[in-house]
Structure 1
């Protein structure tokens, strides 16, 4: 009798996890384009810093990737400078052997930001989910920019980043960045983000 109850609980948890995976994957496939103003408005914090660790595991049987960012600054001023910001995003880094001949395939869904230790980032962090506490970037992969050689680029090569925005009051450097979004200056980009944060207050 006890075995039957335990089996039912395991089946229920497996069903819930599978449903969550399908729901999240469907959401990722319907990724809505968000411009820079959208990213700034919807972000709870905008972290500029370095990824110092990326691990994964399970929380209440739900798979997660845990990311730690050494924060240089937060454009919204909510996270302290020179602090570590840790969050958990849904999905494992890669499939995991469960030690019983089975492999768990619940990896980070397509469309979510991918994280690597050592990379410099500008991360537009969406608020944490109320029930799980899981968190991802605003606009998913659209809201995570890797900074390299003074260039800032998201997973979509910044495609659509300035679409629908009023750019008439931008400086010459900012206009150039919008004209050539795939190779935009990280310093100019961060400066514009700061201006948009001020305007959104």
Structure 2
């Protein structure tokens, strides 16, 4: 079995061997195995066997869906629910890597996804490709209102689009990569990229690659930060 060091996964200070996540929606380097979430972060189990029992019994939901695979990778902005314990969490960026922020049940109904790009396909449909590797189909005539780097606000568990947060000056955003991960502020400037230069965005006085920035609200964040 392939393993990963706990310290390399972005949480905890002492190296500890853990199971690796299976390839899935989120890139492996930006996700945490569900078993580690249940056992090591939330502390609902003392060992792998107990954690797998909890997961196999369907007591852990990710983005409104029961996940029974202990290797399932939990990633940025995913919503984890343990209904039996009435506890809910969102995977948020921090300087040490992904961190689980406890939220209320109402907050657990909102799931944020950034649009990476979009593709026009057959039958008058467009496919929006999202940051977690998933995608959603919309009518091609509606696709113009969705742009790369915009954030979709989904209602869980229906996964219905409630809102689209534009990637534009004045909107609230969060740093999701780099040394300032977890910082929030308003977008002050956006400099488009070229073939040889990355797009850059200025957030709260600091310029950084645009793909480090994730919109989380308009005048105010739509999620608890």
* TM-score (structure 1 length as normaliser): 0.25
Bigger radius of gyration among the two: 1
Q: Please identify which structure carries the higher strand content.
A: 2
